[in-house]
């Protein structure tokens, strides 16, 4: 299988046969993944001329400002490693800092996870979860022990008051554009729903959220509000759903003090660790498949990544799969073991929404 042949593909510069061989040994124990879509080069020493897709590794010393500026201007990223973790700085200045233990084989593991198609920040998370000899302990050596994963550095404290818990399996989870749709799906027996309102005036927004929350109480259902946490708190909503970008601006203490559940979007391992720091009520993972309902900042994740997410976290926190899932794809998604699936157009664009909900519910129960 071509994805397993790393020794002749120039992963390391200067060439490092021992590292390449270790990376290949690790790679064959990680499963069947598509080739990486970029030709990464892990530079073990400063290259004469940095280039795009270079990952320049600096161990045990500070990177000078001149080197940092020159390398990033050339399109290279910098991996600075020490005794207590590692940090990745991308050409655009984004920084991903992790505190944890580095195994002797962490660079080989980093190359192997890059070859599995993971972006550098997620490959680095997985590399820090690697332990020497893991590739000898089974056919699938994928890291699934959360206690071995690094901690995201430099995060603010988690809310003092924990967020209330959700059922571990939230089931069918429609994401709908209006309170009328909330009422419609709850009347069909749905017990978890998200209101995602767009392009509303403040008055319309308040009315939509209040109406949706009232419907949730009437049907004894779980109504989450997307983004608008202040309005959701005033209405007494069951919960809110936020994206990663909202973590920089939302008052998580206020959300917790309002007694609302918190759902957070994640798109990979680094965002997963960042989200877990805040103790959310559930985590959403996506987009699993290509979707036309919103612009994607990351490539579709696929079922193999979802299944490993479930193995890592499925017994710890409720997981919601989202993105491009329809009735035809739902059985394969549920086969990963995920306890909830969010659907949008499979319900709101259906010719007969009542029939669509009934069929989807049957797939969950079957």
- Read off the pLDDT of residues 35-55 as tens digits, 9 standing for 90 and up: 778 889 999 999 999 999 999
Consult the annotation and say whether 197 binds a ligand: yes
Instruction: Using alpha carbons only, give the angle 222, 226, 230 rounded to the nearest 5 degrees.
Output: 95
Q: Is residue 246 marked as binding?
A: yes
Rounded percentage of the chain residues whose pLDDT exceeds 70 = 96
Q: Is 244 annotated as a binding residue?
A: no
Name the average pLDDT for the chain: 94
Q: Quick check: 3 and 115 in contact, CB under 8 A?
A: yes
pLDDT computed for residue 3 by the predictor = 47
Please check the confidence at residue 73 and state whether its pLDDT lies above 60: yes
The answer to whether the annotation marks 198 as part of a ligand binding site is: yes
Question: Does residue 1 carry a pLDDT above 70?
Answer: no
Q: Binding site annotation covers 196?
A: yes
Can you give the pLDDT at residue 34? 81
What's 135-172 look like in SS3? HHCCCCCCCCCHHHCCEECCCCCCCCCCCCCCCCCCEE
On whether 253 is known to bind a ligand per the annotation, the reply is no
Provide the b/e sequence for 30-41 (b: ≥16 CB within 10 Å): beebeebeeebb
For residues 224-246, give the mean pLDDT. 98
301 has binding-site annotation: no
Binding residue per annotation — 265? Answer: yes
Whether residue 293 is annotated as binding a ligand: the answer is yes
Beta-strand ranges (E) seen in the chain are 12-13, 41-43, 54-59, 77-82, 85-89, 95-99, 151-152, 171-176, 192-195, 222-226, 239-242, 261-266, 282-285, 319-322, 340-343
Is position 344 annotated in a ligand binding site?
A: yes
Query: Does 64 appear as a known binding residue?
Result: no
Whether residue 345 is annotated as binding a ligand: the answer is yes
Domains of the chain and CATH, by start: 2-152 (no CATH), 171-365 (3.20.20.70)
Q: Give me the residue label for tokens 């559930």.
A: 282
What 205-214 contacts at long range (C-beta under 8 Å, 24+ apart), as own/partner pairs, is: 205/231, 206/231, 206/234, 206/235, 207/179, 208/178, 208/179, 209/179, 209/235, 209/237, 210/235, 211/179, 211/182, 211/183, 212/179, 212/182, 212/183, 212/237, 213/237, 213/238
Report the distance separating Cα 55 and Cα 178, nearest Å.
46
Provide the whole-model pTM. 0.95
Query: pLDDT tens across 114-158, in order?
Result: 999 999 999 999 999 999 999 998 778 999 999 999 999 999 999
pLDDT on residue 2: 46
Tell me the per-residue pLDDT of 288-302, one tens digit each, with 9 for 90 and over: 999 876 665 678 899
Give the pLDDT score at 84. 95
């Amino acid at each position: 299988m071509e994805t397993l042949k790393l020794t002749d593909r120039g992963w390391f510069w200067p060439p490092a046969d021992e590292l390449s061989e270790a990376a290949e040994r690790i790679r064959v124990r990680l499963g069947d993944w598509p080739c990486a879509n970029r030709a990464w080069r892990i530079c073990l020493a400063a290259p004469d001329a940095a280039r795009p897709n270079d990952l320049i590794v600096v161990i045990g010393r500070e990177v000078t400002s001149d080197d940092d500026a020159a390398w990033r201007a050339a399109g290279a990223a910098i991996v600075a490693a020490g005794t207590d973790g590692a940090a990745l700085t991308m050409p655009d200045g984004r920084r991903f800092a992790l505190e944890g233990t580095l195994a002797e084989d962490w660079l080989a593991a980093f190359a192997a996870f890059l070859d599995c198609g993971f972006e550098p920040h997620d490959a680095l998370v997985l590399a820090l979860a690697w332990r020497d000899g893991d590739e000898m302990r089974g056919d699938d050596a994928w890291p699934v022990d959360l206690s071995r994963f690094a901690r995201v550095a430099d995060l603010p404290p988690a809310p003092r008051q924990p967020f209330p818990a959700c059922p571990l399996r939230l089931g069918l989870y429609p994401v709908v554009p209006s309170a009328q749709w909330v009422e419609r799906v709850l009347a069909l027996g749905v017990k978890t729903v998200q209101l995602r309102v767009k392009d509303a005036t403040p008055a319309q927004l308040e009315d939509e959220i209040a109406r949706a929350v009232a419907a949730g109480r009437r049907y004894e259902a779980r109504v989450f509000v997307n983004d608008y946490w202040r309005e959701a708190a005033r209405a007494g909503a069951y919960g809110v759903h936020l994206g990663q970008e909202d973590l920089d601006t939302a008052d998580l203490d206020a959300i917790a003090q309002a007694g609302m559940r918190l759902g957070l979007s994640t798109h990979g391992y680094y965002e997963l660790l960042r989200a877990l720091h805040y103790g959310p009520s559930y985590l959403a993972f996506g987009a699993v498949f290509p979707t036309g309902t919103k612009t994607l900042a990351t490539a579709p994740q696929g079922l193999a990544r979802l299944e490993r997410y479930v193995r890592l976290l499925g017994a710890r926190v409720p997981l919601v799969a989202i993105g491009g899932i329809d009735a035809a794809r739902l059985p394969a998604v549920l086969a990963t073991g995920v306890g909830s699936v969010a659907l949008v157009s499979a319900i709101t664009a259906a010719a007969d929404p009542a029939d669509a909900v009934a069929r989807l519910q049957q797939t969950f129960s079957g």
